[in-house]
Chains A and B, each alone.
Chain A
């Protein structure tokens, strides 16, 4: 998730003249240890305490496994949808000038600014049988609210901005020469897009989709209102943790949480390594 690789990494080493290294680094390390790392110890201890057999029994429970599948599939569909929609939005925002462009640009961030619980009750109301969208869908014989498709919808809504905001800057920086050369030579729009533009965009697009996927895996507030939360059908993994907690089954909650936590940490490190590599390549070229 880091976009902060840049000039500082390639700059020759300075003699240190600026003050505040020990203060700023000390505060940062203390904060990260207390706020981020220390709380993990509780989870590790709880998981170790319960023993491997019980741990395995909890994380491979049929209902929990069903929740992994629902969560993964829904997050995958939602993030692929956002790949298309985000690319389209970024393209329209960068390439065209039209009335309302600035408003559209601002609106893209709505899902980040709107509390997820608000998004959840609103989507549930709109897509319920008697809601504005639900009625139309019902007449077409489709059902979204209180089915796994409701989960996809909520995940897609909350992660719309990721792809737009990763693709947008790359699209803005794209130099027009190659593109114009292709057009002048009489190649079609589609083939120039496919051969010239898409290869430059796809690392950013993949990063955006991966971020959207990671966010979707962890989404809770928006999902639970519209999912219907039926065991084996539309329960997400975060909800399984929540349910275990309500039953005061801390070991079970910890075991499931440890799976979710490891998955998200692996994704986070993978995205950061991938971004560092592709940014280095970009810098090497320029």
Chain B
């Protein structure tokens, strides 16, 4: 964005700068975005309130819906810290050290993005279900993971594990290791090093990674629906509850539940925009400082 502005100051024409082309392209884009993204977003809330506000709030405080909301929050609360620790560890390993197999490790990390969530759920069901080689042993110990909340947490961890690492790796590579090496030479311990030097540098990327992990953990559908068993009021997360209500011809109730998930999505987008604005601002301040120093 900065490059386009610096050149427009010199009144140099670039491709697509004529008012006709510009207006046409912006117009088409806004029209398509309205049709494809904005109207569906409005429709969620319109459908949720189609039978009135009273119906909306009543359907949200139904026992099964409340249970689904609670379970979804528990799943996210367990998934996010696990993947936060993993993401930081992996990013530290691949950006601060060189070792054979580094690239393979990064490709492996991407597997959950490429694999269909239904396949992900099936993998866990085959291994930990009562017929699986671990599951049958667990069955003898009277431990049930599948068709229960632990299974839901396990597949959610699988599906969301790349997000934190993927936000951190490009940033940590770009920042390099000089600051940290200096701290070590000055005698910082491992924990001090991480908390005082690394963490302040990666703070925003880390927060963004957590937000993305949370958004996906709250909304995961395919993988969870394979391992949940869909027991109403027991193993139904909010997205599964949306499906159940929708297929029960309780469309307004389904959209009421969906509107909660849509609000989390909107909050995610808002936080993302805020973080990007913060980062841009801190970059600008730094550039300004450098300019003053050189003058």
- A-side residues, CB < 8 A to B, are 1-4, 6-8, 13-14, 16-21, 23-25, 27-29, 31-32, 35-43, 45-46, 85, 88-89, 91-92, 94-98, 100, 102, 104-107, 109-119, 121-123, 125-126, 132-133, 156-157, 160, 172-176, 179-180, 183, 189, 192-193, 196-197, 214-215, 217-221, 225, 238-239, 241-242, 245, 250, 253-254, 257, 260-261, 264-265, 267-269, 272, 276
Could you jot down 26 A-B contacts, CB within 8 Å?
A: A4-B170, A28-B93, A35-B161, A39-B124, A39-B158, A40-B123, A42-B126, A45-B126, A92-B25, A95-B4, A95-B14, A95-B17, A106-B269, A106-B270, A113-B215, A115-B218, A117-B243, A118-B242, A121-B242, A125-B251, A132-B43, A189-B21, A214-B114, A238-B116, A242-B118, A268-B111
Query: CB-CB < 8 A to A272: which residues of B?
Result: 107, 110
A21, B242: Cα distance in complex, Å: 44
Q: Is B279 an interface residue (CB 8 A)?
A: no
Give min CB distance, B210 to chain A, whole Å: 14
Interface string of B171-206 (1 = CB under 8 A from A): 001101100110011000010011000000000000
Interface size class on chain B is 35 or more
A188, B70: Cα distance in complex, Å: 59
B158 to chain A: closest residue by CB:
A35
Select one of A24, A238, A245, A253 contacting B93, CB under 8 A: A24
A94, B1: Cα distance in complex, Å: 5
Give min CB distance, A236 to chain B, whole Å: 9
Contact present for A25 and B1 (CB under 8 Å): no
Contact present for B92 and A20 (CB under 8 Å): yes
Contact present for A6 and B170 (CB under 8 Å): yes
Contact present for B169 and A110 (CB under 8 Å): no
Contact present for B16 and A189 (CB under 8 Å): yes
Q: Is B119 an interface residue (CB 8 A)?
A: yes
- B-side residues, CB < 8 A to A, are 1-5, 7, 12-18, 21-22, 25-26, 28-30, 32-33, 35-41, 43-44, 47, 85-86, 89-90, 92-99, 103, 105-119, 122-127, 131-133, 157-158, 161, 166, 169-170, 173-174, 176-177, 180-181, 184-185, 190, 193-194, 212, 215, 218-222, 225-226, 239-240, 242-243, 246, 251, 254-255, 258, 261-262, 264-266, 268-270, 272-273
| Known A1-B110, A24-B90, A91-B25; contact A121-B255, beta-carbon cutoff 8 A | yes
Contact present for B99 and A176 (CB under 8 Å): no
Chain A binding surface, main DSSP class: helix
